[in-house]
Structure 1
Amino acid sequence: MQHLNNLPDLGREVARLRKEKGLTQKQVGALTGMGQSTLARFETGQVAEFGSRKLLRLLEVLGHDLALVPVQGQFTLDDALEQRRREAGSPPAGAR
């Protein structure tokens, strides 16, 4: 499983998968109901946002799925809450 954690990397991977299947942007656009220019901008990292429905439909057409995996070694919301508790002098979560 490949870990992609930003939109430009995801777009490049979609382009790779599309080419691997021998499909053009126009063909994938027709299968997904997405414009060729939208797909081109996504594949080249020129979009700031890309809707989840579009992404899931695109991955489905390319024979792939989206998986959520835990992030290793990154500061999480739980870490931030625990840090705030320590700074406030509160007992750790679950210690009450």
Structure 2
Amino acid sequence: MADKLRAQQQLEQLQTRFIGVGHPDTTKHEWMNNIQRDSLASYIGNPSLLQHFSVALNEPQRKVRTMFIDKMIQPCGPPKEKDSEMEDA
């Protein structure tokens, strides 16, 4: 019983500390946005990956970095109507 309580407390601590971990009320759209933003931040922070993407896209590294930063605003596009209706309920 104490193990379950400890695990629950650790999960709650993670959820308050890190937004991307999610919680029971996290929508699919929020979860996908968190995953995409985390991936893009990783690509931007790793010069080798950024160079790989710039070669693959045949664009300068600065431009690829700017594209990734811009994409972090809404990585999965606007939420669907169904998701926004569920949040209101």
Q: Under a length normalisation based on structure 2, what TM-score does the superposition of the two structures give?
A: 0.32
Comparing both chains, which one has the higher relative contact order based on Cα–Cα distances under 8 Å and sequence gaps of 6 or more? 2
Higher helix share: 2
Mark the structure with the bigger radius of gyration.
1
For normalisation by structure 1, the TM-score amounts to 0.30
